[in-house]
Structure 1
Amino acid sequence: MLVIFYVLLAIVIVAMVVGLYQKNTNIICKSKKRLDGKTAIVTGGTSGMGLRIAMDFADRGARVIVACPFVDEGAAGRKLIVKKTGNEEVIFKLLDLSSNASIRKFAEDILATEKRLDILINNAGVGTVDEFITKDGLNFIMQVNYFGAFLLTLLLLPMLKKTGSASEPARIVNTTSVLHNIGTVNFENMNKVNHWYLIQLYGNSKLCLVLFTRELTKRLKGANVVCNSVDPGAVGTTIFNCSGKYYGALIMFLFSVLFKTPWEGAQTAIHTALDKKAGLVSGEYFKNCRIGQAKQCAYDENLAQELWEESVKLVKLCEYDLEECFKN
């Protein structure tokens, strides 16, 4: 029993030291930039980090469109942002990233009703939830975390390109994860169910986002749009609820105490969307409000191009669609 006590004590001490170091090295976005007259979309902007990002933008005066697939959560999130910021220009719109039809409907609505789009934050995602094949023939986790963001971004490109200028380009921010380091790209098996460990599948989706960021940057050359990916770090959010109600709540609490709260986790995305110097680069991987280094294969241009071509096929973008996405 005494041995067990000392082992537990050692674990607690190590955890406290790690937590103290983490909390003292977390960098906060220092940009004072106002967003009056600008429009931002935050997917998953009604809970967790997305809610904090949306709240920050609204507090800076932006017109903020928060998107999620749940009416009650969306309405509650919008109400909270308005209450906290006093900004009535917060709009909730339904968006189910596991449905190409929903993504297309959302994009069509934005293109038809909005005058500009300055910032797109692809923040929404799911954790290690149960797998299944969606109506679009894609693995649910892969579609929500990667394919959905891929399709949505391309469909919104015309407005982003129209809004961006040489002095102030429109910005796309893709939320990846440190777990992209365990990810792999296997075109034959990327959408199979019960083929990958769930944590590996999650890592695969996040690696794809980094590769997408790199390839999109190449294809946007000459356009006034920049695209970067962000690693928020270890953050205590409701994404852990997939581990079970009580276990998930415990993990969320520990991560918030030892690593980052949702507000702290949101800082790198906010920095990348607002910081002047961050707006001068594209295709980069940001971590803790600084440019970092992604996994080596994330810089493989051939792999990124092949993933792009495969993704275009899987989300069923025809040649006409692509021309519309990239037209000037």
Structure 2
Amino acid sequence: MYEIFLIIAILVILFLVIGIHQKNTNGICLSRRRLEGKTVLVTGGTAGMGLEIAKDLADRGARVIIACPFNEEGVSARKQIVEETENQNVEFKLLDLASLESVRKFAANILANEERLDILINNAGVGVPVDALTTDGMHFIMQVNYYGTFLMTLLLLPLLKKTGSTNDPSRIILTSSVLHQMGQMDFDNFNRTNYWYRLQIYGNSKLCLILFGKELAQRLKGVNVVVNCVDPGAVGTRIFDSGNRIAGFFLKMFINTLFKTTWQGAQTALHVALDKKAGEVSGEFFKNCAISEPAPRARCDKTAKVLWEESMRLVNLSNDELVQIFR
């Protein structure tokens, strides 16, 4: 019995030490930049980290567009942002990243109705809710976390290019995860069901985002648009509810206590969106508001190019469309 209590005491102390270290090393966005006259788009900006990001940007005076697939959640989030920031220039738009049709309709709406797009924050994502294919034939987790973001980002490039300038380039932020380190580049099996553990699929999707950012940065050289990836760290969001709600509840409490709250998790994305020096680099990976190194497999140029071509095929993006996008 004594040994059991001793082990428990050691674990508690260990967790407290880890928590204190994490809380003391979490990066904070220090930029005081104002955003009057700027337009920002935050996918998944209706809950969790995305909502914190959207509130911060609205508080800086930006026109903020938040997007998610749930109308009630979007309307409620917009109301909350307006009430807390007193910025009326906030708009909610429906976007379902699990549907290529929805992504194209959303992008067309933005291109037709917005005069500029200064910052695109691809924050939306899912955890491990289902092991199933979408109507587009892609794995649900992969399509929401990666393929939908891939297509939407490219479709919005003309407006980002039009908005960016030499002194103030437009910025694209892709939200990855520390779990990209467990990701595997298995193109033949990315979209199979009953093949992967769902957590592995999540890791695959987050690895793909980093490789996409790397390849896109190469293709945007000489263009006034920069793209960077962020790892927000372990953040207690509702993404943990997607597996088991009871386990998710306790995981969120544990992570919020020892690692990051949603506000703390939002800081690196805000830093990359706002910091002057962060706007001078492209194709980088940020963690705790500083440039970091992703896993070695996330730095392979050849893999990034193969992923790009395979992604274009799966989202039905033709070469002619791509030429128009980059023209």
Shift of 1:189: 0.4
2:291 is matched with 291
Please state if 1:48 is matched with 2:48.
Answer: yes
The one-letter amino acid paired with 2:238 is T
Larger mean Cα displacement after TM superposition, 126-135 or 285-294? 126-135
Distance of 2:121 and 2:23 partners within structure 1? 25
1:165 is matched with 165
Distance of 2:191 and 2:179 partners within structure 1? 18
3-state SS in 1 of match to 2:92: strand
Please state if 1:322 is matched with 2:322.
Answer: yes
The C-alpha deviation readout for 1:143-167, integer Å capped at 9, x for no partner, is 0000011000000000000000000
Distance of 1:188 and 1:245 partners within structure 2? 32
Distance of 1:198 and 1:64 partners within structure 2? 33
For structure 2, the residue ranges without an aligned partner over 5 or more in a row are: none
3-state SS in 2 of match to 1:171: strand
3-state SS in 2 of match to 1:29: coil
Shift of 1:59: 0.3
3-state SS in 2 of match to 1:144: helix
The one-letter amino acid paired with 1:182 is M
The one-letter amino acid paired with 2:193 is V
1:109 is matched with 109
1:35 is matched with 35
Distance of 1:162 and 1:65 partners within structure 2? 18
Distance of 2:29 and 2:229 partners within structure 1? 16
1:262 is matched with 262
Normalised TM-score (structure 2):
0.99
1:20 is matched with 20
Shift of 1:326: 1.1
Please state if 1:10 is matched with 2:10.
Answer: yes
Shift of 1:244: 2.2
The one-letter amino acid paired with 2:278 is A
3-state SS in 2 of match to 1:40: strand
1:306 is matched with 306
The one-letter amino acid paired with 1:179 is L
1:83 is matched with 83
Distance of 2:305 and 2:269 partners within structure 1? 25
Distance of 1:261 and 1:254 partners within structure 2? 10
Shift of 1:4: 2.2
2:152 is matched with 152
1:178 is matched with 178
Distance of 1:295 and 1:95 partners within structure 2? 31
- Percent identity at matched positions? 59
3-state SS in 2 of match to 1:134: coil
Distance of 1:159 and 1:206 partners within structure 2? 25
Larger mean Cα displacement after TM superposition, 241-250 or 16-25? 241-250
3-state SS in 2 of match to 1:226: strand
Distance of 2:187 and 2:159 partners within structure 1? 31
The one-letter amino acid paired with 2:222 is G
Instruction: State how 1:210-289 maps to structure 2 within 5 Å.
Output: 210-289=210-289
Please state if 1:98 is matched with 2:98.
Answer: yes
Distance of 2:116 and 2:58 partners within structure 1? 16
3-state SS in 2 of match to 1:188: helix
Please state if 1:127 is matched with 2:127.
Answer: yes
Shift of 1:199: 1.2
Shift of 1:321: 1.6
Shift of 1:98: 0.3
Distance of 1:20 and 1:73 partners within structure 2? 34
3-state SS in 1 of match to 2:266: helix
Superposed CA RMSD: 0.8
3-state SS in 2 of match to 1:115: coil
Shift of 1:131: 1.3
1:65 is matched with 65
The C-alpha deviation readout for 1:192-218, integer Å capped at 9, x for no partner, is 111111111111000000000000001
The one-letter amino acid paired with 2:156 is L
For structure 1, the residue ranges without an aligned partner over 5 or more in a row are: none
Distance of 1:324 and 1:114 partners within structure 2? 19
The one-letter amino acid paired with 2:81 is I
Normalised TM-score (structure 1):
0.98
The one-letter amino acid paired with 2:122 is N
Shift of 1:281: 0.2
Shift of 1:5: 2.1
The one-letter amino acid paired with 2:137 is G
Distance of 2:194 and 2:271 partners within structure 1? 37
Distance of 2:80 and 2:295 partners within structure 1? 37
The C-alpha deviation readout for 1:254-289, integer Å capped at 9, x for no partner, is 101100000000000000011000000000000000
The C-alpha deviation readout for 1:153-198, integer Å capped at 9, x for no partner, is 0000000000000000000000000000110111110111111111
Distance of 2:20 and 2:143 partners within structure 1? 36
2:187 is matched with 187
Distance of 2:323 and 2:78 partners within structure 1? 34
The one-letter amino acid paired with 2:163 is T
The one-letter amino acid paired with 2:152 is L
1:198 is matched with 198
